[in-house]
Amino acid sequence: MSIDALAAARRFSVAPMLDWTTPQCRRIHRILCPQALLYSEMVTTGAIIFGDVVRYLKHSGDMPCALQLGGGKADELAKASAIAQTFAYAEINLNVGCPSDRVQNNRIGACLMAEPRLVAQCLKAMQKESDVPVTVKHRLGIDEQNERQVIDFVDCLASESDCRVFIVHARKAWLQGLSPKDNRDIPPLNYELVYELKQRFPELHIVINGGINSIAEAKRHLQAVDGVMLGRAAYQEPRLLLEAAELFGCEIPIIESVLAALEVLLIKALDNGERLSDYTRHLLGLFNGQVGAKQFRRILSEEARSAEAGIEIWQKALAAVFSKKLC
């Protein structure tokens, strides 16, 4: 994929989310928004170096897709990046934003914001082994750090590595005293500081993330930065991915054509021996707010979980929505 095409795709992206942005989820999201850049779940360097590489890295039907790595040792990140080259990811992203204590103990995620030079070394090592762009996702700071230190953080990484894409979650992470869940909501958002990063570093590609819940909000942010990344909102309200077409100057897809493509995907997955629920669990919010949505969710939640569940369960769930519309 060309650098220009990848930059265009970054205008709207879906954040890496553990247990949510699985390969199955990304195939669905690709149908809902053909233009967006998608991200894998975070994969640790240890899982790639010592684990089942195919299990963690194999993907299809989701391009362009970025691989997010978790690690804090330059040599291990370099090795994992080298291994990932054969799996056709469009980008490799370093996680410097996750506040989980499970990753902190391994010097992964947001705790690395305290060591910008180490992060720069990690990025340089990854870049040496990668044929695709290496990017970073980070917070505004951690714990007692002044948020404005993020300016020096970005300057250090840009000066000491060739990283030119910064995905900024517009709030701090409190590693002491807040759970990962609380860290998604309690620290206040500071969008203006992310805008300032773009003003100070116009040569960098700045993507904003955190607390963005609609395409209307995304449009406002795009007046100040290069791209917008949605996380939970895009997952819980899949129709936002349909609306994201407007960010690329495209018409919102017709729902009937989208549903037809989803059915083809599900039938193919079932034919390959996959479980229906591995896909439908990512579609529970597709009709949120519409008549029949509750029954749609109930059918998929209860009946798609069976190992024997076939495409008829999906069709039954759809009928719960569309039969109501015809009444």
Catalytic residue among 33, 98, 111, 163: 98
Which residues, other chains included, contact 226 with Cβ-Cβ below 8 Å and sequence gap of 6+?
7, 10, 11, 198, 205, 206, 207
CA distance linking residue 211 with residue 229, whole number of Å? 10
* Residue 215: Cβ-neighbour burial (10 angstroms; 0-12, 13-18, 19+): buried
* Residue 259: Cβ-neighbour burial (10 angstroms; 0-12, 13-18, 19+): middle
CA distance linking residue 302 with residue 305, whole number of Å? 6
Closest CA to 138 of 171, 89, 163, 107: 171
> Given the structure tokens 């059918």, which residue do they identify?
299
CA distance linking residue 238 with residue 253, whole number of Å? 13
Residues forming beta bridges with residue 134, ordered by sequence position: 92
Is 163 one of the catalytic residues?
no
> Given the structure tokens 């990690």, which residue do they identify?
122
207 SS3 class = strand
- CA quadruple 7, 12, 184, 189: dihedral, nearest 10: 80
Residues marked as catalytic:
98
